[in-house]
Each structure stands twice: as C-alpha cells, then as structure tokens.
Amino acid sequence: MAGHCSATASQLAGRVPTPVAGPPAQATAVAVGSAYPALDATAAVLAARAQTAAGKLTTSASQYVRTEEISGQRLSELSGGPGRE
C-alpha cells in the first residue's frame, strides 16, 4: 500500500501539462495561462500528501513487523525458555 501511495504521488506530481499559449491580448488567454501554475502547485500539494501517507504506512508496517517479532520472541521464551519445559 505504501508503494501504491508513493507511485500515486509520482503520478500526481508530473501530470499537469504545459498550457497552449494564447494571444496575451486576450483576457481568456491570460486567465487560462494563470490557472496552470495554480494547478501545478495544487498537484504538488496532493503529491506531497500522498507521499506522506506512503511514509506513514511504511513506518506503521515496520512497527507492526517489529511488534510481531518481539511478540514471537516472548512466546518462544514462554514455551521453550529455561525452566519452562
């Protein structure tokens, strides 16, 4: 899942295309042209959000695995440790 989030972040970051430049005298061309940098900025925020999720999932997965290992060790000690046979 962390990998999926990380891949999503990469796709989001590079998705906004370069705009077609219209005549600068036309108000619509100016308005459209100004929207693309805003979209780029928004995409960067969304990508960062997805990347943060990927990081949190990676950390959670590591902690989960570590907890499992510790639990396993403790159970082994309980069942096979000295004086417990």
Q: Which of 85, 11, 83 is nearest to 47 (CA)?
A: 11
Residues 51, 28: Cα–Cα separation, whole Å: 35
> Between residue 25 and residue 54, which ones bind another protein under the rule CB under 8 A?
25-29, 32-33, 35, 39, 42-43, 46, 49-50, 53
Q: Which stretch binds another protein (CB under 8 A): 3-11, 66-74, 76-84?
A: 3-11
Question: What is d(CA 48, CA 84) in angstroms, rounded to the nearest whole number?
Answer: 52
Among 34, 37, 48, 56, binds another protein (CB under 8 A): 56
> Which residue type occupies 72?
G
Structure tokens at 83: 């004086």
Residues that bind another protein (CB under 8 A): 1, 4-5, 8, 11-12, 15-17, 19-29, 32-33, 35, 39, 42-43, 46, 49-50, 53, 56-57, 60
